[in-house]
């Protein structure tokens, strides 16, 4: 059986990627770092093993953070494409940058206890104060 490959892109199209449609989890994060990184109330993302993400032009990527944990952004338009996390084992792909629809859907809100006071969660997903174990 062939693994389905999804395409993704930044806003300007300078940074493109492919990722396997084998995400392990998907959440909506409300932490203050994700709010500042996206400029939005939350960051919907899906987590997958790092090696499942293939950047087409890694030299065009701007890394914000350190060598072990960083956000990958387009160096031209600034779009947040993914975050390298969990001891470099996973990437959290921002769902809004996918051009193709993934099989997985977000299943919970995380860091909901630190969400902005103006942010109202309007669905029935479970909400956690941290990252579910």
Would residue 41 count as lying in a domain?
A: yes
Would residue 131 count as lying in a domain?
A: no
**Structural domain count, the chain:** 1
pLDDT in tens, 10-57: 999 999 999 999 999 999 999 999 999 999 999 999 999 999 999 999
Read off the CATH number of the domain in which 105 is found: 2.170.150.70
Contact 79, 11 (CB under 8 A): yes
Residue 109 domain boundaries: 5-114
Would residue 120 count as lying in a domain?
A: no
CA distances (Å), origin 3, targets 20, 22, 86, 110, 124: 7, 8, 24, 28, 31
pLDDT in tens, 81-123: 999 999 999 999 999 999 999 999 999 999 999 999 999 999 9
């Amino acid at each position: 059986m062939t693994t389905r490959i999804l395409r993704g892109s930044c806003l300007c199209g300078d940074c493109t990627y492919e990722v396997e449609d084998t995400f392990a989890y998907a959440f909506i994060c409300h932490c203050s770092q994700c709010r500042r990184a996206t400029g939005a109330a939350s960051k919907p993302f899906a987590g997958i093993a790092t090696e499942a993400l293939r950047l087409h032009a890694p030299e065009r990527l701007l890394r914000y953070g350190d060598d072990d944990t960083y956000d990958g952004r387009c160096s031209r338009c600034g779009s947040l494409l993914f975050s390298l996390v969990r001891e470099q084992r996973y990437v959290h792909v921002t769902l809004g940058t996918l051009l193709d629809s993934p099989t997985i859907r977000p299943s919970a809100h995380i860091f909901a206890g630190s969400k902005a006071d103006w942010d109202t969660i309007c669905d029935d997903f479970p909400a956690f104060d941290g990252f579910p174990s």
